[in-house]
Amino acid sequence: MTVPESGLSLFRVLTRATKSADSDCSEVEAEVVRLFDEHRTRLLRYVFSIGLSVHDGEEIVQDVFLALFRHLQLGRPRDNLRGWIFRVAHNLALKEREASHKRLDSAELDEVVAARHVDLSPSPEQQLAFSQRQQRLLAALYALPSRDQFCLHLRAEGLRYREIAEVLDMSLGAVSNSLSRSVARLERADRE
């Protein structure tokens, strides 16, 4: 096949441009996949702990990393990526939880959705495996206000105070306050 000289150079320029855009993209893709590997388990555990079903939890985690890809592709700030990831997951999870509550309002499908949800409450078989001490602790955990529970779960998944503050839109002081209050309450319940 013969290609006119000018056409050929245009072709070369275009392929070169595409190649460089391609490698930028695939770098970002690789980074997102790396972050997925790093955070998937913790994120899933967090969204389960705040009441999402396994199915919804997995969907949300996928959505989080697609959003992260766009975030990085647009060159948005990346100084607190873990906080960013958990923040998006937290917000999506609460939205999903609300939506499923709303869907229930109209329907008699309460039980159907109830069956889809998982949370920290153990099944009777599991309860057999839980010590009295652990059951007391779970009960005390549930008795905490939801924001305090969020803080505690995020801390348990390894987030620093600064990151928790970003996820929940709180001040550092408020995070520290909430955590110490909750731990003291759990400790009290643990001792009794």
Partner 1 sequence: MRANDSHLSDEELLLAADGELPLTRMNELSEHLAACWDCRARSGQLESAISELVAVRHAALDPKLPPDIGRRALLKAHLSEQAAQSGAGGWSLFFRGLAFRRGLAITAVSALLIVLATVAVSYRLRTQSSVLKLARLPLEPSRKLTPGATRQVSLREVCSSQPEDGSARVIPVSVQREVFQEYGMDGAPPKDFEVDFLITPELGGSNDIHNLWPEPYYSTVWNARVKDELEDRLHEMVCNGELDLGTAQRDISTDWIVAYKKYFHTDRPL
8 binds partner 1 (CB under 8 A): no
Contacts of residue 127, defined as CB under 8 A and 6 or more positions apart, other chains included, come to 135
Instruction: Rule CB under 8 A: choose which of 80, 147, 160, 168 binds partner 1.
Output: 160
Instruction: Rule CB under 8 A: choose which of 9, 23, 171, 180 binds partner 1.
Output: 180
**What's the CA gap between 149 and 141, in Å, rounded?**
7
- Which residue intervals of 52-171 are DSSP H helices? 54-73, 81-106, 110-116, 124-129, 132-143, 146-156, 161-168
* C-alpha R_g of the chain: 23
Closer to partner 1 by CB, 88 or 141: give it. 141
23 binds partner 1 (CB under 8 A): no
Closer to partner 1 by CB, 4 or 102: give it. 102
171 binds partner 1 (CB under 8 A): no
The site string for partner 1 over 75-94 (x = CB under 8 A, - otherwise) reads --------------------
C-alpha count within 13 angstroms, C-beta hemisphere, residue 44: 12
Nearest residue to 17 (alpha-carbon basis) of 28, 25, 5, 27: 25
Nearest approach, Cβ of 165 to partner 1 (angstroms)?
11
9 binds partner 1 (CB under 8 A): no
Instruction: Rule CB under 8 A: choose which of 161, 163, 166, 167 binds partner 1.
Output: 161
Length of the chain: 192
133 binds partner 1 (CB under 8 A): yes
